[in-house]
Amino acid sequence: MSRIQLRYGVFFTPFLITLLFAVNALAQPAPTPKAAFDEKAVADFYRGKIVRIVIGSGPGGIYDIYSRLMARHMPRYIPGNPAIIVEPRAGAGGLIAANAVYNAEPKDGTVIGSFGETFVLRQALGAPGIEFDSAKYQWIGSAISTAVACVARADSGIASFRDVMAGKPLTVGTMAPGSAIYDVPAIINAAFGNQMKLVRGFRGVAEIVLATEGKEVGGYCAAWQAMLTTGRHPRLLKDGIIKVIIIMGDKTPDHPLLKGVPAAETLAQTEEARQLLRTMHAPSQIYVPYVVAPEVPKDRVEALRKAFWSTYTDPEFVADAKKTGGIEFTPSSGEQVTQVVHAILSTPPAVLAKMKKILIQ
């Protein structure tokens, strides 16, 4: 799957240079992290221990599925071979987990966090409730570089996104603000003057998918790559129960299920709308990220980064992923993720001010 790149207006030249540098880094194959750490000391620490991956959503969603798959294979690449377990901690769109890993959980390398990549942007927006600094978090890597797509039930009366633009009602299931599941449709509403009704309160995408099946909501937005490979999305798409109506970015990926589906930025009527859509799309480059607290010793951070990359490039892991519902991934190294994080935090204040009015409630 090709990585979706971002293109910003020339009048944002400093931000453009920073962001394109970060995205270009993601477009290149990540080098295997060097073993720049004391492997014996790391092994002595991890031997006999349990590492917890604290995810910011409920069971059955993409964070849960990817993390459990990773937990089966990553231990053999961490010196000392600790066991890994996944601990769902849903709440506030993943904010509870993000704050806990930064502030309350052990800071010795036995706790890894995985939660909404949009929290980096929300920190830049000055959102309330954020008790961490994304620039100080130590990023281990991310599983996916993708775009968020929005789907509608085939029987919802929405034949295409232009129906939504024309004012036809669509009820969209979401998590709390702060997750891409909420923030993306909220920005789409603002960019196109839509009135999609966003229904909050779901603990994760798996619950939203079930609600869509049960006709409690008419659709939802989620990572396109996850829709193709995880949970119940693929069956719903294959059976024609849901259909994609729009995908973020400036170009529609080449896929049979996306034939005729518009890329959001191509529909924007104003430069302001394009700015909003582009900025909202940026975090999708680091979908399903993994982090540890700032205080974790550097040698353990480097060991975890190397183990993460070794896991995602391991043929046995890849084979297991294909057996587990055909899961696919486009991983990024910890260094690559860090570059994107800093680029997002450098978003121009004028753009952030517009987004803040939309997303901070």
Could you tell me if residue 38 is inside a domain?
yes
**Per-residue confidence (pLDDT) for residue 326, from 0 to 100:** 75
How many domains is the chain partitioned into structurally?
A: 2
Co-location of 139 and 154 in the same domain: no
56 and 78 assigned to the same domain: yes
Residue 294, domain member (yes or no): yes
pLDDT in tens, 276-315: 999 999 898 898 999 999 999 999 999 999 999 999 999 9
Q: Are residues 260 and 312 in the same domain?
A: no
Q: Is the Cβ–Cβ distance between 49 and 80 less than 8 Å?
A: yes
Query: Is residue 124 one of the residues assigned to a domain?
Result: yes
Out of 251, 282, 313, pick the residue that ends a domain.
Answer: 282
Q: Is 264 helix (H, G, I), strand (E, B) or coil?
A: helix
Q: Are residues 105 and 170 in the same domain?
A: no
**pLDDT for 44 beyond 50:** yes
Q: Indicate if 347 and 297 belong to the same structural domain.
A: yes
Residue 5 included in any domain: no
Comparing 7 with 192, which gets the higher pLDDT? 192
Q: Is 126 exposed, middle or buried (0-12, 13-18, 19+ CB in 10 A)?
A: exposed
Q: Is residue 348 part of a domain?
A: yes
**Residue 31 pLDDT > 60:** no
Per-residue model confidence as pLDDT tens digits over 8-30: 333 333 444 345 435 444 555 55
Averaged over 141-166, what is the pLDDT? 95
Q: What is the CATH number of the domain that holds 303?
A: 3.40.190.150
| pLDDT value at residue 28 | 53
Asked, for residue 89, whether it belongs to a domain, the answer is yes
Write the CATH number for 259: 3.40.190.10
**Region 331-343 average pLDDT:** 94
Residues 230 and 346 in one domain: no
Same domain, 300 and 194: no
Residue with tokens 């205080």: 295
- CA distance linking residue 179 with residue 342, whole number of Å: 19
Residue 2 lies in a domain: no
Q: Residue 172 is part of which domain span?
A: 148-282
Q: What is the mean pLDDT of the chain?
A: 89
pLDDT reading at 332 higher than 70: yes
Both 198 and 49 in one domain: the answer is: no
164/19: higher pLDDT: 164
Same domain, 61 and 154: no
* pTM beyond cutoff 0.85: no
Shared domain check, 33 and 58: yes
**Sequence-separated (6 or more) residues with CB below 8 Å from residue 63:** 55, 56, 57, 114, 115, 204, 288
